[in-house]
Structure 1
């Protein structure tokens, strides 16, 4: 038998991150930067108001109170994105909108709530449309409170300055990072793309959800679960409908999918049964092309090789790994039982997806917890067992969810971790410390 660690090491040794490409910001979410991004212009690029109010000189409102307000002449309105603002001289103020540039001569902004709202002149600040030219000169405003220099002003470069490091290579681009890139004017960015993962189930007994079940048929849940897991890992997932137990059809289906695949994941048909179609279809695919000396065609067999193995683990004992097609696209063949396929995905496929993306962290986080159970957990000797569990980080405990059967998909849906029982342990008692793999 192969060990869990040995199988994973063998897989990762054969996988390399995808080549970088230039993507528009709208397409770069979830991708990993391959270059440092520096700030070309200061952010914000000019001093601007953080409030709707009045731009004033500090000396003109010093000592202002409700009883003795500072009375200032309104010289105009300043809108965000408007024309050049008027200068503010002694005894003057300018109406200003949030985001509008601080006018020459002004040193602070007093919120409109600190004033009587102004009299005469132009339209109210809140009603002034963006892009409107400065206007509304005339009238007065009474200011009831003093303001210090820079009050309610966003200073130029107070966020980032020109030349600063905005984002370092290796950063995963989420919504805030995309927003920062847009704010500093970057329309495109160089990243490793999200890998395209094709997921397909095998089995003549499989029916798509929403269709009526016939005698001996079950719904195809694996392809939906694994495609969702691939998206959670950061990939672009393509789910292929269930393929019947026919080796030729399976080979043709995989060949058709290679045009859009950076990774192929199959589920089912990898054991020793008479109808284990994946093993039958792919176990010999590398025979005439593994060294690149084949006919050079576009068949699945060209330049390929898939190895089927028995692993010392439960669930997920039968596994397959290799490459298919002329581009040596990685293929992982997972067992067909729902829990087996999902556990196998988390242990083997997810690290591959993250490696293709160039992620620094490719594994799920792990923790130590005390077992909260009514009875000992049993595990077969010589196999690493992964049991579904519910983890309580506050109490530092983990409780088993459901039984050990690899078909118990309902229990899997209520678990948030996997309880790991090492190969040398055949029993874990309540209160014993165990390792848990945190999911989600």
Structure 2
């Protein structure tokens, strides 16, 4: 078996199979498949173009009109017959009367009579009979009679009907992410609304009795709650609508009561914390008793403890509580699953290869996701592998992927990098 994220054979000692209490460890791909399988494609809705930025096209979009819709001018100048202006030079210019003005948007375009030209603006329809546009820079810009001092070859500066796209041709396939250029095309081929998949409604829950709302005073042993902010932003960036559920009690019964009251309005519940092997793991203790959520280990670092399943029929993905583990787990498992449910043709992050600027070590049998800074050619590791290093995470623009069977890499080694920012900063 080969891992699509690394292209190298998996370490044979990594056990595959279920995720549970029997000691079995899932591979990254196995848990990705389990998480993705929880989420069905979202319903389709029609939205106005003004509200469609960042959405995903749910159906193929054929062009309703050709682009251009008619032969038009690519320059400001004069529509002419090349046979009448092709010999013009500065020493022997050609003078012709200007029979008509053709601004962009004119619909009653008279044909070009022999021995005349039409003054024409960029985008205006080309009159019948014209086979060249003489740019205004090659003339004296006359309005009644124009003096032409040179002319381009026949066919120059003409945009022909349908040369961009023909009516009925596929303008954009289903799965296209709708950015500025794509929305511009949709409008240009005649659409005022587009079919998109509804945004997933994601309930984000961060647990831990040590957590305090940012801005309040901290007592000894307390920390500010940041995971719900981090995960809600990640959900939004992935195309979802996030709603946070704050400071749910660590009591199992109260926890279940509070969470279940919120689930009917959610397509997915994402939790962070409370899933490790120790005591006081409220998420694991509460959901494991329902028999519909499985907990266990995935052969990766950070982010080993994971859980996935359903509660009251709603998909649930439980992530570790350390911020870096939570972020990496979201990137590896939740983000691509959300984007598949949204219908993205390419749900995965962009990735490339880079050279290490320093050697690194990695534990055997676990795929390592290290924070890095990529400049287009080389990558610097940002901070250590610790799952609590939030400041280092904030300075990273990529994840460096080290395969399970690699323990040492020298300076200059080629590694896979996943671009978590989508662009260099």
Give me the TM-score of the superposition, normalised by structure 2: 0.81
Q: Is the 8 A contact 1:245 1:276 kept in 2?
A: no
Alignment CA distance shift 1:185-1:256 (3 Å): farther
**C-alpha RMSD of the superposition:** 2.9
The alignment partner of 1:243 has SS state of: coil
Where do residues 20-35 of structure 1 align in structure 2 (5 Å cutoff)? 20-35=44-59
Q: CA deviation at 1:369?
A: 5.6
Q: Is the 8 A contact 1:383 1:422 kept in 2?
A: yes
Alignment CA distance shift 1:160-1:387 (3 Å): closer
Q: CA deviation at 1:204?
A: 4.0
Q: CA deviation at 1:310?
A: 3.3
Query: Whole-Å Cα distance in 1 between the matches of residues 362 and 132 of structure 2?
Result: 71
Which residue of the partner structure matches residue 300 of structure 1? Answer: none
Given candidates 389, 405, 409, the residue that maps to 2:390 is: 409
Which residue of the partner structure matches residue 313 of structure 1? Answer: 300
Which residue of the partner structure matches residue 190 of structure 2? Answer: 185
2:268 maps to 1:242: no
2:205 maps to 1:215: no
Q: CA deviation at 1:349?
A: 0.9
Q: RCO greater where, 1 or 2, for CA within 8 Å and sep 6 or more?
A: 2
Given candidates 305, 316, 331, the residue that maps to 2:316 is: 331
Q: Could you give the per-residue CA deviations for residues 74-133 of structure 1, whole angstroms, max 9, x where no partner exists?
A: 2232222234133331232222222111123333222222221214xxxxxxxxxxxxxx
User: How many pairs does the alignment contain?
Assistant: 394
Query: Whole-Å Cα distance in 2 between the matches of residues 409 and 388 of structure 1?
Result: 10
Which residue of the partner structure matches residue 439 of structure 1? Answer: 419
Given candidates 220, 231, 236, the residue that maps to 2:236 is: 231
Query: Whole-Å Cα distance in 2 between the matches of residues 306 and 349 of structure 1?
Result: 16
Q: CA deviation at 1:223?
A: 2.0
Q: CA deviation at 1:249?
A: 5.5
Given candidates 256, 261, 270, the residue that maps to 1:265 is: 270
Query: Whole-Å Cα distance in 2 between the matches of residues 176 and 65 of structure 1?
Result: 41
Which residue of the partner structure matches residue 297 of structure 1? Answer: none
Which residue of the partner structure matches residue 333 of structure 2? Answer: 348
Q: Is the 8 A contact 1:197 1:235 kept in 2?
A: no
Give me the TM-score of the superposition, normalised by structure 1: 0.79
Alignment CA distance shift 1:312-1:78 (3 Å): closer
Q: Could you give the per-residue CA deviations for residues 139-189 of structure 1, whole angstroms, max 9, x where no partner exists?
A: 222222124333222111111122323223343333322222211112333
Which residue of the partner structure matches residue 302 of structure 1? Answer: none
Q: What stretches of structure 1 of length at least 5 have no aligned partner?
A: 120-138, 287-304
